[in-house]
Chain A
Amino acid sequence: MRHRSLLLLCALAILPGIEGCHKAAAPAKPDPLRNAYDVEVDANDPTHLIGLSYQQAQGKRVFYTNCVWCHADATPAGPSNRSNLTPVPPLMNDGATLNGVSDEFMQSIITLGGSAMGKSAMMPPWGRTLSPDDIKAVIAYTRAIAQPAYQPPARAASPYSREAGPGPATK
């Protein structure tokens, strides 16, 4: 059961690649490395694996436990719930939609749920189920698998905003 679900999981990982290319590429030979949490298949080249950092890998784990059911076209258990929902939830690697959304907004909508942020109430709040670190990890993972690739927002030229801290560093 577990192994089968992992196989499906890797099929899922290949899917966006095929979609992205808009051609019926033959699914690559299943490589068991795809099943591992610390790598992800390159969407543009199914034979290439991208290493994930610790945080991104934890995000992948959380994603495949909690989010995959509605935010992917295939799930470890087989059919996806995504097509059941109106509005249809975005795919987690849909960079065209999600790259424009800030980390802060993502953190809020995952924590508080869709209705709190003016989106569909079908997105439940996860703030009491997942820890803030889990949620940050999921966002990091989303950014890592985004197609087209995610570019962190360019820092403004202000001397304050170049600081990484939340406010201006006066130290």
Chain B
Amino acid sequence: MAPEEMGKVTYRMRLIFAASSLLFVAVLAVSPVKDLLREWKHYKRGYLQFARTRPDTKRLTADYRPDLDQIWIPEMNVVDRCASCHQGITQATLADGSVPQPYRAHPPIPHRVREWGCTPCHRGQGVATEVAEAHETTLAWEQPILPGRYVQGACGSCHHDARPELPKLNRGRQLLADHNCAGCHRLQDIERSVMQGPDLTSVGTKVSREWIYKWLKEPRTVVDDSGNVKVNGYETQESPRMPQFRLSEQELHDLSAYLSAQRSHPVAPYKFSGAVVAKWGKRPDVTDQGELRFRQMFCSTCHSLAVTRAGETKLIGGEIGPELTKVGSKVNPDWLAAWLLNPQGYLAHSKMPRYEWSEEDLFTVTRYIETKLTDSDLLSNVPQLGAATKEEIAHGKKTFSEKGCASCHAVGSSGTQKDFGPDLSALGSKNVSQLEFGKSTIPRNLSSYIQAKITDPSSVNSAARMPQYNFNAADLEAITTALLSMTGPPATSALQKLTIPRGNPQFQPAGEFARIYERYQCADCHKFNGYGGDLAPDLSYEGSRAQRQWIISFLKNPQTLRPTLTFRMPQFNMSEREAAVLADYLSMVMQSPDVRQEAVNAKELTPAQAALGKQLYEVKYQCQSCHTIGSGGGYVGPNLNNAGNWLKPEWIAAWLSNPQALVPGTIEPHRTMTDGEIKALTAYLMTLRQSGGKAAQKQVAAHGAKAGGNGVAGQ
């Protein structure tokens, strides 16, 4: 270049300068343009446009800000930006199904969406600002959004208690407990019960080798492909207990040999007294008498039998104990008598109450079971197995431990083994990369994995030892939900404060009451301070509710108070003394702090009050729509014919003023009554006595007639 041209700006240089400036501006512009085109901004602008099409635009856009919406919950370590796109999530007017996503409102739930955000319930990645990253599995984020049908699983990771709003989760937890999943797996909130399956220490004295073979091949309760549970071919609502293991013919031979050789405590035949045998031994109606006593003792409250009515065979009876239609062909008669006399002598943790048997009852009932509850074809498809050889027994013992039988069944003094299967107590927080899918082609996510594992354990792991469960679609969903809720212990102490622990009620009485309580297994059906079964009334406050004398006569001859109930309390044939001990304990200990004895003085209740109470009962409050007095009235509440002998007046008064305070969740409506009305109704109910109270009732009737029409109209 010549020196005179040095300072001269050529056209070419200008061009280069202009081009590079333009390029520079363009490069500078990339970032703002990219920012402008972000996915979430697109939805933000879209929301504004969408809101303009709605009649309430102003309200919908009142909170609108053009930047990211973020919810931060430090306790849960949640940063949630979902509302940046889900703009209308709290707008009640956008709840309609026609509103396009992501602008639709969340349906009303107990948690405020603005406070809790989305990810605590729906999981997914809260900090993400792109649709795919927030919702799906990506390389950097392996916890996709929980499908809507499992959302109760997320509720369960904080709510360890059983809430009625979460039926699917509760059902799943129930199924996990019922199927003894805790026998092999460690599960969050579901502990191993004292007895998973029966103790097999002396099973050889109870059943034959052939029966064991049949049982192992097809357990009593079988679930067919459509999820229907069948017992001996009859459909039942019971949940199956012993699962079906995939056992080879050889394993069946070995296991049945090993188990039938377990006879640690041989049973001696029961010696009936000569008088009973002489009286009943030859009578043709001995089984009829046995059946009658079987019914009168209300064995059917816990055990079902197949009954044929109008050509249709159905199981009738309860589900606490096993179905007994063919039990006579199953058990050894000597074992049966020993069992009925003392169930806990054979199985320490059996739920069966120890009845007070008379010789005659025991004789006739065992005869009935041995001759009527039988099926000659029960073992027809079982090969003749003969006596067990030493070799078979040794092999059987090995198979027993290899198959994990010892997780649920104890043999000898060794007890059961824990943790045969993998620990599942934090399954719900596992990442996809931690799961082994094997050769299966199922979608790569946690819920599909859990379902595949339960429906066919060998599909994801050919060496799986887990037995086969045939759950129906609904139960499978429920179990998956419950497993997804198990996220292990909270990661931070702050999160621990947010979790609602599961109540763990215990009831440990002492003394003479405890002995009788254990004997009749009261907690199988009744609840005591939150502990016990659901079949029968909660007895936590029975001492405040019922009169001692009534409790005694009820225990000696239980009647049903509710006409709709098909189950009745069994007749244990308990002695006067036992009934008195139970009644004393209930009266003294099982009391409600809300029922004060001095609140109502029974002696001060006048016939005039009772007459007013009768009118209140019949006209103003129309209690007869649910309760029966005499022969008229409804079926919903208990029959009040004997209320005066049954209930304590202070209980009636406290109950009428607030029933839910005494029995949470009871369906008796909480009404607004004045103290005078409560006294009047109490006075009336206390006159209702089935025996000996006729005079008092007549008095009320006479008084009521006198009072005539001027009673309630002015109330």
Question: Whose C-beta in chain A lies nearest to the C-beta of B658?
Answer: A128
B108 touches which one: A1, A55, A129 (CB < 8 A)? A55
Task: Contact check, B669 vs A79: say whether CB atoms are below 8 A apart.
Answer: no
Which residues 15-60 of B have a CB within 8 angstroms of A? 55-56, 58-59
Task: Contact check, B625 vs A81: say whether CB atoms are below 8 A apart.
Answer: yes
Which residues 48-92 of B have a CB within 8 angstroms of A? 55-56, 58-59, 62, 92
A35 within 8 A of B: yes
One of B252-260, B342-350, B560-568, B605-613 contacting the partner: B560-568
One of A19-27, A101-109, A143-151, A161-169 contacting the partner: A161-169
Task: Contact check, A171 vs B634: say whether CB atoms are below 8 A apart.
Answer: no
Contacts known (A78-B566, A84-B625); A6 close to B237, Cβ less than 8 A: yes
B318 within 8 A of A: yes
Name the prevailing secondary structure of the A interface residues.
loop
Contacts of B55 in A (CB 8 A): 159, 162-163
Contacts of A126 in B (CB 8 A): 669
Q: A35-76 vs B: 1/0 string, CB under 8 Å?
A: 111100000000000000111001001000110011000010
A85 touches which one: B167, B227, B625 (CB < 8 A)? B625
Question: Whose C-beta in chain A lies nearest to the C-beta of B149?
Answer: A38
Q: B315-331 vs A: 1/0 string, CB under 8 Å?
A: 00011000000000000
Question: Whose C-beta in chain A lies nearest to the C-beta of B238?
Answer: A3
Closest Cβ of chain A to B302, distance in Å, is 10
A75 touches which one: B62, B564, B620, B625 (CB < 8 A)? B564
Task: Contact check, A61 vs B56: say whether CB atoms are below 8 A apart.
Answer: no
Task: Contact check, B56 vs A163: say whether CB atoms are below 8 A apart.
Answer: yes
Closest Cβ of chain A to B639, distance in Å, is 13
A15 within 8 A of B: no
Task: Contact check, B475 vs A69: say whether CB atoms are below 8 A apart.
Answer: no
Contacts of A77 in B (CB 8 A): 562, 564-565, 635
Question: Whose C-beta in chain B lies nearest to the C-beta of A66?
Answer: B667
Question: Whose C-beta in chain B lies nearest to the C-beta of A76?
Answer: B564
A128 touches which one: B108, B535, B621, B670 (CB < 8 A)? B670
B interface size (C-beta, 8 A): 51
Give 28 CB contacts A-B under 8 Å. A1-B318, A1-B319, A1-B534, A2-B534, A3-B237, A31-B474, A32-B227, A33-B474, A36-B168, A58-B165, A61-B164, A65-B665, A69-B635, A70-B625, A77-B564, A77-B635, A78-B564, A84-B634, A121-B619, A122-B622, A125-B669, A128-B671, A128-B672, A129-B660, A129-B667, A159-B55, A164-B56, A171-B62
B109 within 8 A of A: yes
B671 touches which one: A31, A79, A125 (CB < 8 A)? A125
A7 touches which one: B164, B237, B620, B633 (CB < 8 A)? B237
C-alpha gap A159/B567 in the complex (Å): 60
Contacts of B565 in A (CB 8 A): 77
Binding site for A on B (CB under 8 A): 55-56, 58-59, 62, 92-93, 107-109, 164-165, 167-168, 171, 226-227, 237-239, 318-319, 472-475, 534-535, 562, 564-567, 619-622, 625-626, 633-636, 660, 665, 667-672
A interface size (C-beta, 8 A): 48
Task: Contact check, A69 vs B319: say whether CB atoms are below 8 A apart.
Answer: no
Contacts known (A38-B168, A84-B634, A85-B625); A1 close to B238, Cβ less than 8 A: no
C-alpha gap A121/B616 in the complex (Å): 11
Contacts of B660 in A (CB 8 A): 129
C-alpha gap A144/B582 in the complex (Å): 49
Counting from the closest, the 10 A-B pairs by CB-CB distance are A3-B237, A122-B625, A124-B669, A128-B670, A77-B564, A164-B93, A162-B55, A37-B167, A69-B636, A33-B474
Task: Contact check, A1 vs B622: say whether CB atoms are below 8 A apart.
Answer: no
Closest Cβ of chain A to B419, distance in Å, is 30
C-alpha gap A1/B534 in the complex (Å): 9
Query: Apart from A32-B475, A124-B669, A163-B56, what are 18 other A-B pairs with CB-CB below 8 Å?
Result: A1-B534, A3-B237, A33-B472, A36-B168, A37-B167, A69-B635, A75-B564, A78-B564, A80-B635, A81-B635, A84-B625, A121-B621, A121-B622, A124-B671, A162-B56, A164-B93, A169-B56, A171-B59
Question: Whose C-beta in chain B lies nearest to the C-beta of A120?
Answer: B622
Contacts of A53 in B (CB 8 A): 107
B58 touches which one: A36, A61, A125, A169 (CB < 8 A)? A169
Closest Cβ of chain B to A22, distance in Å, is 25
C-alpha gap A29/B228 in the complex (Å): 10
A79 touches which one: B92, B475, B564, B625 (CB < 8 A)? B564
C-alpha gap A37/B152 in the complex (Å): 12
C-alpha gap A55/B167 in the complex (Å): 13
Closest Cβ of chain B to A82, distance in Å, is 9
C-alpha gap A78/B635 in the complex (Å): 10
Closest Cβ of chain B to A149, distance in Å, is 15
Closest Cβ of chain A to B412, distance in Å, is 35
C-alpha gap A121/B623 in the complex (Å): 9
Question: Whose C-beta in chain A lies nearest to the C-beta of B628?
Answer: A84
Contacts of A163 in B (CB 8 A): 55-56, 59
Closest Cβ of chain A to B369, distance in Å, is 24
Which residues 1-19 of A have a CB within 8 angstroms of B? 1-4, 6-7
Task: Contact check, A171 vs B625: say whether CB atoms are below 8 A apart.
Answer: no
C-alpha gap A106/B501 in the complex (Å): 37
Task: Contact check, A65 vs B165: say whether CB atoms are below 8 A apart.
Answer: no
Which of B109, B565, B626 has the most A CB atoms < 10 Å from its CB? Answer: B626
Contacts of B669 in A (CB 8 A): 124-126, 128-129
C-alpha gap A6/B472 in the complex (Å): 15
Closest Cβ of chain B to A31, distance in Å, is 8
C-alpha gap A14/B671 in the complex (Å): 34
Task: Contact check, B56 vs A65: say whether CB atoms are below 8 A apart.
Answer: no
Contacts known (A1-B318, A33-B474, A66-B667); A85 close to B634, Cβ less than 8 A: yes
C-alpha gap A32/B108 in the complex (Å): 27
C-alpha gap A75/B562 in the complex (Å): 14
Task: Contact check, A164 vs B474: say whether CB atoms are below 8 A apart.
Answer: no
C-alpha gap A95/B636 in the complex (Å): 25
Contacts known (A124-B669, A171-B62); A32 close to B472, Cβ less than 8 A: yes
Task: Contact check, A129 vs B620: say whether CB atoms are below 8 A apart.
Answer: no
C-alpha gap A164/B99 in the complex (Å): 15
Which of A29, A77, A79, A165 has the most B CB atoms < 10 Å from its CB? Answer: A77
